[in-house]
Chains A and B, each alone.
Chain A
Amino acid sequence: MATVSPTPLLKDELDIVIPTIRNLDFLEMWRPFFQPYHLIIVQDGDPSKVIKVPEGFDYELYNRNDINKILGPKASCISFKDSACRCFGYMVSKKKYIYTIDDDCFVAKDPSGKDINALDQHIKNLLCPSTPFFFNTLYDPYRDGADFVRGYPFSLREGVHTAVSHGLWLNIPDYDAPTQLVKPLERNTRYVDAIMTIPKGSLFPMCGMNLAFNRELIGPAMYFGLMGDGQPIGRYDDMWAGWCTKVICDHLGLGVKTGLPYIWHSKASNPFVNLKKEYKGIYWQEELIPFFQSVTLPKDCTTVQKCYIEISKQVKVKLGKVDDYFNKLADAMVTWIEAWDELNPSGVKPAELPNGASK
Chain B
Amino acid sequence: MRTPPCLLSLTLDSAVLNLSNITDLSPLPDHILIELFLRTLRAGKLTERVLKLFIATGKDEVFSLIQALNIQVTVNPVLPTSKCLPIKDDEIDIVIGALNFDLTSFMNVWRPIFSRFHLTIVKDPDLKEELKIPEGFNLDVYKEPDIDRVVGTSTSIIFSGYACRYFGYLVSRKKYIISMDDDCLPAKDNKGFLVDAVAQHITNLTTPATPFFFNTLYDHFTEGADFVRGYPFSLRNGVTCALSCGLWHNLADFDAPTQALKPEERNSLYVDAVLTVPARTLMPISGINIAFNRDLVGPALLPCFRLATEGKFRWETMEDIWSGMCVKVICDHLGLGVKTGLPYVWRNDRGDAIASLRKEWEGVKMMEEAVPFFQSVRLPQEATTAEDCVIEVANAVKEKLGSKDPVFAHTAKAMLDWVKLWKSVGGSSSSPGA
A→B interface (CB under 8 Å) = 111, 134-139, 145-156, 166, 168, 173-176, 178-179, 181-184, 186-194, 198-207, 235-236, 238-239, 242, 258, 272, 275, 278-279, 282-283, 285-286, 289
Contact = CB atoms under 8 A, between A and B. Distances in A.
B125 interface: no
Contact of B268 (A145, A153, A187, A189): A145
B10 interface: no
Contacts of A182: 41-42, 69, 79-80
SS class of chain A's interface: helix, strand, loop or mixed? loop
A168 B273 CA distance: 14
Contact of A146 (B226, B267, B281, B286): B267
Task: Please provide the 8 A-B residue pairs with the shortest distance between their CB atoms, ordered closest to farther.
Answer: A205-B230, A151-B284, A151-B321, A135-B283, A199-B281, A204-B214, A202-B278, A150-B255
Interface stretch (B159-167, B216-224, B387-395): B216-224
A150 B315 contact: yes
Interface residues of B, number: 68
A342 to B, nearest CB: 31
Contact of B224 (A146, A149, A190, A238): A190
A182 B269 CA distance: 34
Interface in B218-277: 218, 222, 224-235, 245, 247, 252-255, 258, 262, 265, 267-273, 277
Contacts of A282: 64, 68, 233
Nearest to B275: A196
Nearest to B371: A153
B158 interface: no
6 contacts: A150-B314, A150-B318, A199-B278, A201-B280, A201-B281, A279-B61
A193 B272 contact: yes
Contact of A136 (B64, B224, B283): B283
Nearest to B227: A179
Contacts of B315: 150
A275 to B, nearest CB: 8
Nearest to A141: B258
Contact of A137 (B190, B245, B258): B245
A278 B68 CA distance: 11
B268 A190 contact: no
A202 B228 contact: no
A355 to B, nearest CB: 32
A175 B38 contact: no
B382 interface: no
Contacts of A145: 265, 267-269
B35 A235 contact: no
A198 B245 CA distance: 18
A154 B318 contact: no
